[in-house]
Amino acid sequence: MKIIAIAGSSGSGKSTLALSLQRECQSLNKHCEIVCEDRYYHPLTQEQHANVIDVDFDHPDALDNPLMTMHVKYLLEDKPIEIPNYSYATHRRTSDTSLLAPPDLLILEGLHLLHRESLIPHYNAMIFVDTPIEVCLERRIYRDINERGRTKESVITQFNKTVRPNFKKYIYPSKDNADFVIDGRVAIEETVEALKITPLFKLLSD
């Protein structure tokens, strides 16, 4: 099993790139799965849930990295895993999980994946999606209003309170670990075509 990690700010275009690479891999008759780091959010306590506006969901510690690392190791040992399902409505894990058997290619997608010292040694390639933070904010406003029922004001408040500071402190510096830096403003079709002449695409076909 090969592993590609994709990191970048919230709203940078990580998920879009992951899905495009998955389609390319599937077109080569390879089994490719995407696992989002978001699935590993710690469930909130009752006290945290009562003060959810104060919870920093963008800090690395908001995510259960030990569990994700263990799951990656299991997959590399050819063992299936049960991925938690996280509810953004309740901020807790649901009672069901998603069973995943080791694929040919695993794409990990998330904020802090290039910052995780426990995971980096297991990657075959690391991609950072570099998108101006103001563009990320515009995309996040659109997504959270339409998909998560939030108001524009609440999205902007959270973005300025937690997203920007954590991006500056943790996420952007992890760009230095990337094998490939992608401009998140470029159309995804152009990005994928550009990547086809890099060693990255050998991972998709091998």
Q: pLDDT (tens digit, 9 = 90+) per residue, 64-115?
A: 999 999 999 999 999 999 999 999 888 999 999 999 999 999 999 999 999 9
Q: How far does Cα 76 stand from its chain's mean position?
A: 19
d(CA 52, CA 33): 31
Q: Per residue in 167-196, pLDDT tens?
A: 999 999 999 999 999 999 998 889 988 888
pLDDT of residue 200: 86
Unique residue bearing structure tokens 């009752």: 46
pLDDT of residue 114: 98
For range 13-42, the mean pLDDT: 95
- Please determine, for residue 204, whether its predicted confidence score (pLDDT) is greater than 90: no
Q: How many domains does the chain have?
A: 1
Which residues constitute the domain of residue 178? 2-205
Unique residue bearing structure tokens 């506006």: 53
- Please determine, for residue 206, whether its predicted confidence score (pLDDT) is greater than 90: no
d(CA 94, CA 92): 6
pLDDT of residue 113: 98
Q: Per residue in 108-152, pLDDT tens?
A: 999 999 999 999 999 999 999 999 999 999 998 998 898 888 899
Q: Which ranges constitute the DSSP H helices of the chain?
A: 14-27, 46-50, 65-76, 133-148, 152-158, 164-166, 188-195, 200-205
Query: How many CA atoms does the CB half-sphere of 178 hold within 13 Å?
Result: 20
Q: What is the DSSP string of 187-202?
A: -HHHHHHHHTTSTHHH
Rg of the chain over all Cα atoms, to the nearest angstrom: 17
- Please determine, for residue 22, whether its predicted confidence score (pLDDT) is greater than 80: yes
Q: What φ, ψ does residue 151 adopt, rounded to 5°?
A: -90, 155
For the chain, the maximum distance between any two Cα atoms, rounded to a whole number of angstroms, is 51
pLDDT band (50, 70, 90) for residue 3: very high
pLDDT of residue 134: 93
Q: Residue 102's domain is classified under what CATH number?
A: 3.40.50.300
d(CA 91, CA 59): 15
Q: What φ, ψ does residue 13 adopt, rounded to 5°?
A: 115, 15
Alpha carbon dihedral 157, 160, 161, 162, in 10-degree steps, equals: 120
* pTM strictly above 0.85: yes
pLDDT of residue 128: 98
Contact 7, 111 (CB under 8 A): yes
pLDDT band (50, 70, 90) for residue 201: confident
Unique residue bearing structure tokens 């690395």: 60
